[in-house]
């Protein structure tokens, strides 16, 4: 696989716009941050449901997207009986709506796909919000934005390293039955880029990381990032599409760009929470 100049130009232009937006929203927090994550979750869920329709499954798109957004609000506002009630109603509603479908065929697929999309995109994506909240009120200042940027940095560094190394040096296929374009060399490049990103993060905006943290996250993040990328590739290959949409020039769809983040954000959240925060190295109000 070689790098096509037009695609590379589009990727760089999209990154030049998208990365500053991610940084600014992460640092601002508040409703601007929530709305930005809602955009990712809502659009990503819609792309997921369109992808499933290409397989002949008919999920309840509007209900699923609404439920996914409420999951993120539930997390942001730290629970609440009304959000929990809404999610419960949605789960019941999806099943009851299947009773009204005329043909009644593949009901279990329609129901399970609608609900799986909420967990896959919305619940995993809501860990970005949990990261922001974990760092609020930290003894060293508001570190929530730093936690979020760390997750994006490691996920996208893996993607970028894998893309360039795979394009330039890729020879041996990683898992060809899942994704014929992904190579072992690309994966190695992703690991190298993630470790470099972790070191830069420690020196620049994440001094709370020890060298052990850098090593652990620099090695674990590319593992889950690559798994997240392969999981989405598996689904796209199953439904025989290349990109989930053309929303982001040079990158494909929202889900194509954030598939690795959906897996890296939970890793970073639970590591920081149980290893860094609860060890007492950082005192937070999150």
38-84 pLDDT per residue, tens:
999 999 999 999 999 999 999 999 999 999 998 999 899 876 666 67
The C-alpha R_g of the chain, in whole angstroms, comes to 19
Q: Is 191 a domain residue?
A: yes
236-253 pLDDT per residue, tens:
988 888 888 877 766 678
Which two tokens mark 6?
């037009």
Q: Which residue has the higher pLDDT, 169 or 191?
A: 191
Mean pLDDT of the chain: 87
Beta strands in the chain (DSSP E): 173-175, 179-183
Q: Is 146 a domain residue?
A: yes
pTM: 0.91
Range of the domain at 91: 5-277
If DSSP codes are grouped into helix, strand and coil, which group holds residue 181? Answer: strand
Enclosing H/E stretch for 43: helix 30-53
Count CA within 13 A, CB hemisphere, residue 259.
22
Q: What is the mean pLDDT of residues 262-279?
A: 93
Q: Is 227 a domain residue?
A: yes
Q: Is 218 a domain residue?
A: yes
Q: What is the mean pLDDT of residues 151-168?
A: 93
Q: Is 183 a domain residue?
A: yes
Q: Is 285 a domain residue?
A: no
Q: What is the mean pLDDT of residues 144-162?
A: 95
CA gap 217, 163 in Å, rounded? 20
* Burial of residue 156, with CB atoms counted within 10 A of its CB: 0-12 exposed, 13-18 middle, 19 or more buried: buried
Q: Is 282 a domain residue?
A: no
Q: What total number of domains does the chain contain?
A: 1
179-190 pLDDT per residue, tens:
888 899 999 999
Task: Write down the pLDDT at residue 16.
Answer: 81
Phi, psi torsion values for 248, nearest 5 degrees = -120, 100
């Amino acid at each position: 696989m070689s790098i096509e100049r037009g695609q590379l130009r589009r990727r760089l232009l999209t990154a030049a716009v998208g990365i500053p937006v991610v940084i600014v929203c992460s640092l601002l927090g508040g409703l601007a941050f929530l709305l930005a994550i809602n955009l990712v979750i809502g659009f990503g869920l819609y792309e997921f449901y369109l992808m499933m329709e290409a397989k002949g499954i008919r999920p309840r798109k509007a209900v699923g997207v609404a439920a996914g957004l409420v999951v993120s609000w539930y997390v942001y506002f730290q629970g609440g009986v009304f959000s929990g009630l809404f999610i419960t109603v949605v789960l019941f509603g999806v099943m009851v709506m299947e009773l009204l479908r005329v043909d009644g065929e593949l009901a279990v697929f329609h129901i399970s796909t609608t609900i799986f999309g909420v967990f896959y995109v919305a619940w995993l994506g809501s860990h970005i919000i949990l990261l922001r909240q974990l760092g609020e009120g930290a003894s060293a200042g508001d570190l929530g934005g730093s936690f979020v940027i760390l997750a994006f940095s490691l996920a996208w560094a893996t993607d970028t390293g894998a893309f360039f190394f795979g394009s330039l040096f890729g020879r041996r296929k990683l898992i060809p039955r899942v994704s014929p374009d992904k190579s072992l060399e690309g994966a190695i490049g992703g690991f190298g880029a993630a470790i470099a990103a972790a070191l830069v993060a420690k020196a620049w905006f994440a001094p709370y990381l020890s060298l052990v943290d850098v090593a652990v996250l620099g090695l674990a993040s590319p593992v889950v990032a690559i798994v997240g990328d392969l999981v989405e590739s598996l689904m796209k290959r199953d439904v025989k599409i290349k990109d989930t949409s053309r929303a982001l020039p040079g990158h494909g769809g929202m889900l194509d760009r954030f598939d690795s983040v959906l897996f890296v954000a939970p890793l970073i959240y639970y590591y920081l929470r149980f290893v860094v925060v609860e060890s007492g190295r950082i005192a937070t109000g999150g």
